[in-house]
Amino acid sequence: MELPSASEAALEVQQIYAEHGEVTEALNDIRSAISLGRPRYELAGRLTAFVTAVERHFGSEEGLMRAIGYQGANAHAAEHQRLLVQLRGLERDFVAGAIRQCGALALFVEVWTAQHMERQDKGLIDFLNAHASSAMVRRAFGSHSEPMAMRAGAAA
């Protein structure tokens, strides 16, 4: 397990935000296709693109969590797997014509995406941000963990 440096941690946070942007964009594509009354085959294509973006992002987040030995990695990855199973089922049902209400489909996808990002992903992002700032403090004041006041006193 290796914790990233401050700049690496900050970059990882940017990467997560960028990927969340891609996932949100794919979700917005579904929503606008629905509101424009686009045909089902187009919606199905957009849903597949969304699932693909989610899958790619989950893989990248899981790789990062493993690489840094993140404590909540197993629980977080387990939720990814649960969500992917649900999404793939939804995609299958939509393609098979079993889901008729496109609005309900978009709402479901939107709600879980937001929930996952607000709970599990927030924990990971907070961890990386905290690590980025503590690593910067260590770099600025040396690798010892004594309070700054003590160091200032020792130098005086």
Nearest to Fe ion of 57, 131 (CB atom): 57
Q: How far is CA 18 from CA 33, 34, 77, in A?
A: 23, 25, 19
Which stretch, 30-38, 61-69, 99-107, 133-141, contacts Fe ion (CB under 5 A)? 61-69
CB 126 within 8 A of CB 134: no
Nearest to 76 by CA among 93, 92, 57: 57
Q: How many residues bind Fe ion (CB under 5 A)?
A: 3
User: Which single residue brings its beta carbon nearest to Fe ion?
Assistant: 121
- The nearer residue to Fe ion, 117 or 136, going by C-beta atoms, is 117
What is the x/- site pattern for Fe ion, positions 86-125, by CB under 5 A?
Answer: ----------------------------------xx----
Decide: 127 and 70 in contact? Cβ < 8 Å: yes
Pick between residue 43 and residue 77 the one whose CB is nearest to Fe ion. Answer: 77
CB neighbourhood size of 98 (10 A): 10
Which residues sit at the interface with Fe ion, rule CB under 5 A? 61, 120-121
